[in-house]
Amino acid sequence: MFDPELESFKTSIDLRAYAATQGYTVDRKESWAGSAVMRNSGGDKIIIKLDAADGHYVYFSVRDDKDNGTIIDFVKHRGRLNLGAIRKELRGWVGQPAVPLPLFPPLSKTGKDRMQVEAVFAKMREVRRHPYLEGERRIPGALLQAARFAGCIRMDARGNAVFPHFDEQGLCGYEIKNHRFTGFASGGTKGLWSSQSEAEDGCLVFCESAIDALSYAVLFPDNHTRYASISGKPNPVQPGLIRASAARMPAGSEVIAAMDADADGAKLAELVRDAVALAGRDDLRFGIEEPLNCKDWNDQLRAMRKPSLPAVLGSFPALDA
């Protein structure tokens, strides 16, 4: 049965503000436009979003699958209150709060599929080493530990390497890789996998997959280069994301399409060329590069006897450097 008062609590009270009064603070490193990550001193980590379907502020706890829902559930789980007590607790919040509250930017509304994608992703562990990437794909651990790729690779419960994709609203999906296995997040959509960016960067390289981008970085190490991938056949959203990424590059930068050496790769390179042209930046240079005598960049890397580790170590400062 529809209850106007409870509905008002769910839509009118910013759950981030209420959580802040309960000892939670925002983790700005892990938050983005449609998702606020908050932690408390007891080790709880929650993710708050705005449901596009009904306008409810909703949350889920990373450490407890049963701890999720609206502000009603949040109060119930933490205060062990019945519904009557919850009403009394929240009635003051639909007016003017009695104490000053931190200001939060508006949350972008999020569909339920994206919420599920983020809930699964949040449980994955950020890694700086990975046996599959290092052993089978020959990506040196020195590169995986570089600050350039901090936070760009995770590992799921099955040991798969996971590469998060983002669009303008935040996390939208993730590519999954392991021995003889390639997958994508259930319910997710492709955006761009990207490395970290630095203000002094002068080059942006687009590859087909994240593993190809990492391989390119090993083959041509340069700590003034950003890397991105589209994960194969593009969707209608990705050209706009490519254009936006190019538009954010510093003045006089170069954008390189480094796709596979086949017909599909040539089409993707032209897609990147067109997207860069639409960025409205006459100062950007564009180039196309292909693997030498190999289909993709990881094939070229694995064909080498040994990656040039001194070059990798010298070109990509470690995260703790």
Amino acid at 265: G
Neighbours of 5 (CB within 10 A): 11
| Mean pLDDT score across all residues of the chain | 91
Q: Angle at Cα 295 formed by Cα 294 and Cα 298, nearest 5°?
A: 80
pLDDT digits (tens, 9 = 90+) for 296-306: 999 999 998 76
* Length of the chain in terms of residues written: 321
CA–CA distance, 221 with 313 (Å, rounded to integer):
9
Which DSSP helix (H) or strand (E) runs through 204?
A: strand 203-207
CA–CA distance, 309 with 142 (Å, rounded to integer):
8
What is the mean pLDDT of the segment spanning 301-312?
71
Q: What is the pLDDT of residue 101?
A: 64
101 or 153, which is more confident: 153
Q: What is the pTM of this model?
A: 0.79
CA–CA distance, 14 with 104 (Å, rounded to integer):
9
pLDDT digits (tens, 9 = 90+) for 65-121: 899 999 999 999 988 889 999 999 999 888 755 556 677 877 777 676 888 899 999
Evaluate whether 196 touches 152 at the Cβ level (below 8 Å): yes
Domain 124-315, CATH:
3.40.1360.10
Q: Where are the domains of the chain?
A: 4-111, 124-315
